């Protein structure tokens, strides 16, 4: 059983003017939401740990999770509103972003929610803005501490400066997670944001020295690199006609976790023991999954049969 922690929200796209206002197209989303769906589509048992509104938007999020096969017994419900991320165009045609999240449900996860977690958890995935905002961040830290040595901790910072603009907050969070994380994935874009000028190999060496067993840096159209105690492995990008890259990083994480689960490698000792050939296979599998997502509109992640 996987547990994925974090936010579920709506991305709301302005699609044009109407006689009395504007038309909007609202899509379910959120990086952790996508990771949970990605795992379910790859035939992995997964539950989602978050707080979701009882309002009509929250109900739609719950239906989406249920439809995808994500278990929701661990979802805490409340009357707080649902986070909205609005995307439109300014008068010059440049994309304009607005984020409405203060006081919303995904920031208010209380520690009471932890009692609903099932037995037999093999891995817990953390990432994105829910790790640094509100009561949710404190609850997630409590879970990280509680599960040390019991479940694999996977972490993708997935930095969102439109939610938390302070890079110092993100640096502090990453520094706190490094000695408590066994599988760390970070994009080169996020790495450049947090530590400008630091080479991925130097960051990976630091993370391994602090306790991580597998460090992966994704590089978009340039492929991905992974480091374990056995050394470094690079995989090339998968050739694909890119429609958009929404959800590609989330797909990569879900697929990497799936590859490890299918080989009973979701533990610190198993990650340490990964050969360079096995790591190359894992990264290649994840890269193929991400390429499929990039070939389709939106965060439309692949199913197991497609891989």
Q: What is the pLDDT of residues 94-141, one digit of tens each?
A: 767 889 999 999 999 999 999 999 999 999 999 999 999 999 999 999
Q: Distance (Å, rounded) from C-alpha 260 to C-alpha 213?
A: 13
* Confidence at residue 68, expressed as pLDDT on a 0 to 100 scale: 98
- Give the mean pLDDT of the chain: 95
Q: Distance (Å, rounded) from C-alpha 300 to C-alpha 284?
A: 19
Residues ≥6 apart with Cβ < 8 Å to 161 = 167, 193
Q: What is the pLDDT of residues 81-91, one digit of tens each?
A: 999 999 887 77
Q: Distance (Å, rounded) from C-alpha 296 to C-alpha 38?
A: 14
Q: What is the pLDDT of residues 37-56, one digit of tens each?
A: 999 999 999 999 999 999 99
Beta strands across the sheet bearing 152-156: 75-78, 46-53, 2-5, 123-127, 152-156, 183-187, 214-218, 224-228, 231-235
Statement: 2-7+31-81+102-306 belongs to CATH 3.30.160.100? no
For residue 97 the two structure tokens come to: 């972003």
Evaluate if residue 245 carries a pLDDT over 90: no
Residues ≥6 apart with Cβ < 8 Å to 230 = 274, 275, 276, 279
């Amino acid at each position: 059983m996987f547990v994925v922690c974090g936010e579920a929200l709506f991305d709301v796209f302005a699609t044009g003017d109407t006689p009395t206002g504007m038309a909007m197209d609202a899509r379910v989303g959120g990086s952790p939401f996508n990771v949970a769906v990605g795992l379910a589509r790859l035939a992995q048992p997964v539950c989602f740990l978050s707080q979701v509104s009882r309002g009509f938007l929250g109900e739609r999020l719950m239906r989406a999770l249920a439809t995808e096969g994500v278990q929701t017994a661990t979802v805490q419900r409340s009357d707080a509103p649902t986070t909205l991320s609005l995307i439109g165009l300014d008068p010059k045609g440049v994309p304009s972003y607005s984020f409405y999240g203060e006081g919303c449900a995904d920031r208010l996860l209380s520690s009471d929610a932890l009692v609903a977690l099932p037995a037999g958890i093999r891995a817990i995935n953390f990432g994105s803005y829910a790790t640094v905002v509100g009561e949710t961040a404190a609850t997630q830290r409590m879970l990280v501490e509680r599960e040390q040595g019991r479940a694999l901790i996977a972490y993708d910072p997935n930095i969102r400066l439109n939610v938390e603009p302070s890079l110092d907050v993100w640096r502090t969070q990453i520094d706190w997670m490094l000695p408590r994380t066994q599988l760390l994935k970070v994009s080169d874009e996020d790495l450049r944001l947090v530590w400008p000028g630091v080479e991925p190999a130097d960051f990976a060496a630091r993370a391994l020295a602090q306790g991580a067993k597998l460090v992966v840096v994704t590089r978009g159209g340039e492929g991905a690199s992974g480091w374990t105690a056995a050394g470094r492995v690079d995989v090339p990008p998968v050739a694909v006609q890119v429609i958009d890259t929404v959800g590609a990083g989330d797909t990569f994480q879900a697929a990497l976790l799936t590859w490890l689960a299918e080989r009973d490698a979701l533990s610190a000792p198993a990650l340490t023991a990964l050969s360079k050939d096995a790591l190359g296979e894992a990264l290649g599998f994840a890269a193929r999954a991400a390429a499929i997502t990039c070939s389709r509109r939106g965060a439309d992640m692949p199913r197991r049969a497609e891989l």
